[in-house]
């Protein structure tokens, strides 16, 4: 179109004004992108680090609690429960693990596992069934065990009146960061049998004698409990404590991180609003100054039959050219700043995530908003200049 072509010619002809417009756009957009990228990169990195460790989803019940069907049902009915597995009392969840030939001996904590166990999701480790176990890295390294090896779990009653020993095939090994201590995940049935054995009852499946198993009245004393997502942990802790249980969790750290994210959103939004307002004012003044010098050209264009729309496109062509150039300069500056920040100011997380980053969709939103602002400012100027009568413009000259 004629108007857009003329606007582009003005953008190249009035290069000082064009450079000023480009610097205005880039000078506002680049700092906003860097702040937004720091907020996104830092918080995303920290949040992903929390999400990547299932232990942050865990809510531990303190002490031994008698958890009957009603109590377990109340816990299971809470919203955002991701995993709930009844467990025995702590004293019954201790045993010794050795190699199948009896060599080596490592004290381990026993954890009941089941479908959906968060500790098994990384690496797609299978849920241990009867005669199987998943070991922590520490336990596996201490006994030099690998997946597929056989091991032997053993314990004895306090009075030495009996000994329980069972062979377990290793079906998985947890990453070191998931379980830094010596732990063994087993089927819940085995833990119940160990607790019964320690209480002096018979364990027919393992050929161990004792008091009649039918006379034993038992209920879980604890539970392994995990939230479905990081954001749900604080609320779930409150709900569990409302039921009368004391808990241990990472709730406080998670709340601080989530609150920090909200505050940073507010800070970036306020700074962006101030910068955008300044950008609009400076850009508007620059466009008005440029086209005030083009009044004669506009008058001649109108006298030669140019419509108000052509004049508007004349101004918009200048705004579009300088806006695109400013956007390109801002993105280039943002890319260089991100590279420097990520190189010299790393987060130091295990995931090696960058400190400053913006996904492509967010960059697209920022770019579209910038062009919309530039076109809006130039449109206001376009409406002003297109409304001037040709004769009036010539007289003004």
Encode pLDDT of 133-147 as tens digits. Answer: 999 999 999 999 999
3-class secondary-structure state, position 6: helix
Residues contacting residue 216 through CB under 8 Å, at least 6 positions apart: 196, 199, 201
Residue 311 banded pLDDT, cuts 50, 70, 90: low
Q: Is the dihedral of CA 201, 203, 209, 215 positive or negative?
A: positive
3-class secondary-structure state, position 31: helix
Could you list the beta-strand ranges (E) of 260-310.
none
Residue range 74-97: average pLDDT? 91
Burial 298-309 (b: 16+ CB within 10 A, else e): bbebbeeebeee
pLDDT at site 238: 94
Give this prediction's pTM: 0.73
Neighbours of 156 (CB within 10 A): 15
Residue 339 banded pLDDT, cuts 50, 70, 90: confident
pLDDT at site 235: 93
At 148-186, the pLDDT tens digits run: 999 999 998 877 678 899 999 999 999 988 888 899 999
Tokens 């995530």 map to which residue? 353
C-alpha 263/C-alpha 39 separation (Å) is 10
Q: Give residue limits of the domains in the chain.
A: 2-51+255-396, 62-82+227-248, 89-219
Residue range 62-74: average pLDDT? 88
Residue range 25-51: average pLDDT? 83
At 232-291, the pLDDT tens digits run: 999 999 999 999 999 999 999 888 888 887 788 888 888 888 888 887 887 787 777 777
Q: Which of 228, 257, 174, 258 is nearest to 59 (CA)?
A: 228
pLDDT at site 11: 61
Distances (CA, A) of 318 to 6, 13, 203, 296, 301: 8, 11, 87, 17, 16
């Amino acid at each position: 179109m004629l108007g857009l072509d003329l606007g582009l010619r003005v953008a190249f002809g009035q290069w000082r004004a064009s450079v000023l417009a480009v610097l205005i756009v880039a000078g506002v957009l680049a700092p906003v992108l860097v702040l937004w990228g720091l907020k996104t990169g830092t918080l995303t990195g920290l949040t992903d680090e929390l999400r990547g460790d299932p232990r942050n989803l865990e809510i531990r019940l303190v002490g031994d609690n008698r958890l009957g069907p009603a109590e377990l049902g109340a816990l299971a009915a809470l919203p955002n429960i991701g995993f709930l597995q009844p467990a025995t009392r702590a004293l019954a969840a201790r045993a010794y693990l050795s190699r199948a030939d009896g060599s080596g001996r490592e004290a381990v904590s026993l954890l009941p596992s089941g479908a959906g166990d968060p500790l098994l999701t990384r690496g797609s480790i299978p849920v241990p069934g009867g005669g199987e176990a998943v070991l922590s890295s520490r336990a596996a390294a201490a006994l030099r065990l690998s997946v597929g090896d056989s091991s032997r779990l053993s314990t004895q009653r306090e009075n030495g009146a009996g000994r329980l020993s069972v062979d377990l095939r290793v079906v998985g090994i947890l990453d070191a960061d998931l379980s830094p201590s010596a732990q063994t995940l087993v089927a819940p049935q085995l833990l119940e049998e160990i607790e019964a054995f320690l209480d002096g009852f018979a364990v027919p499946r393992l050929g161990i004698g004792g008091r009649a198993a039918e006379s034993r009245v038992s209920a879980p004393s604890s539970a392994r409990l995990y939230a479905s997502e990081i954001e749900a942990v604080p609320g779930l802790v409150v709900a569990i404590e409302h039921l009368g249980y004391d808990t241990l969790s990472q709730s406080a750290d998670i709340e601080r991180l989530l609150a920090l994210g909200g505050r940073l959103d507010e800070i970036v939004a306020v700074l962006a609003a101030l910068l955008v307002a300044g950008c609009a004012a400076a850009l508007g003044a620059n466009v008005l100054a440029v086209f005030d010098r083009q009044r004669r050209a506009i008058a001649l264009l109108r006298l030669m039959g140019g419509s108000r729309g052509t004049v508007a496109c004349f101004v918009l062509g200048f705004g579009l050219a300088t806006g695109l150039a400013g956007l390109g300069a801002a993105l280039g500056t943002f890319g260089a700043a991100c590279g420097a920040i990520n190189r010299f100011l790393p987060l130091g997380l295990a995931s090696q995530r960058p400190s400053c980053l913006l996904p492509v969709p967010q960059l697209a939103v920022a770019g579209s908003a910038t062009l919309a602002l530039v076109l809006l400012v130039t449109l206001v100027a376009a409406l002003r200049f297109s409304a001037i009568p040709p004769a009036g413009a010539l007289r003004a000259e």
